[in-house]
């Protein structure tokens, strides 16, 4: 498979063209992956009282349920989100991981993972906020942290 990139100021929009001698499984998989990337969302609306904020996913430390509501936590604040955790789990990019029944975290924002008497605790960068990881999800979290690029 050859990959060619053609950049020019003459173009008004980005376009991907795939040339293939026949339609096969590899081609279908490639198209699915491109569609997945295209459909990934990079921002989400968060609410504080009656005010709507557009949040960049890179700024979100974790999502957590509390009293049947889902909140997105950033370094300084938490915002009400109008999604359920299972919906977010399907829509979020690969750097987000479910770590308990009530939370999904951003792997890129983890500072440390420590074991304590009460459980496994994740500390985030530049904030006091922490979150517990259930034993059921601990192995996957460790694997993903080991694969993380520095």
The per-residue DSSP string of 105-142 comes to: EEGGGEEEEEEETTEEEEEETTSS-EEEE-HHHHHHHH
The domain that contains 140 carries what CATH number? 2.40.50.1020
What is the pTM (predicted TM-score) of this model? 0.70
Number of domains in the chain: 1
CB within 8 A of 16, min separation 6: which ones? 34
* pLDDT tens-digit readout, 79-125: 999 999 999 988 888 889 999 999 999 998 998 888 877 788 899 99
Residue 86 resides in a domain: yes
**111: containing domain:** 43-147
Longest dimension (CA), the chain: 61
106/80 Cα distance (integer angstroms): 17
Residue 14 resides in a domain: no
Residue 132 resides in a domain: yes
């Amino acid at each position: 498979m050859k990959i060619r990139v053609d950049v020019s100021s003459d173009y008004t929009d980005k376009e991907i063209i795939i040339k293939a001698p026949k339609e096969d499984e590899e081609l279908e998989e490639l198209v699915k992956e491109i569609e997945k990337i295209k459909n990934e969302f990079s921002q989400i609306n968060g609410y504080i009282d009656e005010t709507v904020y557009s949040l960049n996913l890179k700024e979100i430390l974790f999502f957590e349920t509390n009293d049947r509501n889902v909140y997105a936590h950033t370094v300084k604040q938490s915002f009400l989100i109008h999604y359920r955790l299972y919906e977010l789990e399907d829509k979020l990019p690969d750097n987000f991981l479910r770590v308990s029944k009530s939370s999904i975290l951003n792997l890129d924002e983890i500072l440390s993972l420590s074991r304590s008497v009460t459980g496994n605790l994740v500390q985030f960068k530049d904030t006091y906020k922490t979150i517990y990881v259930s034993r059921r999800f601990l192995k996957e979290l460790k694997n993903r942290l080991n694969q993380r690029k520095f």
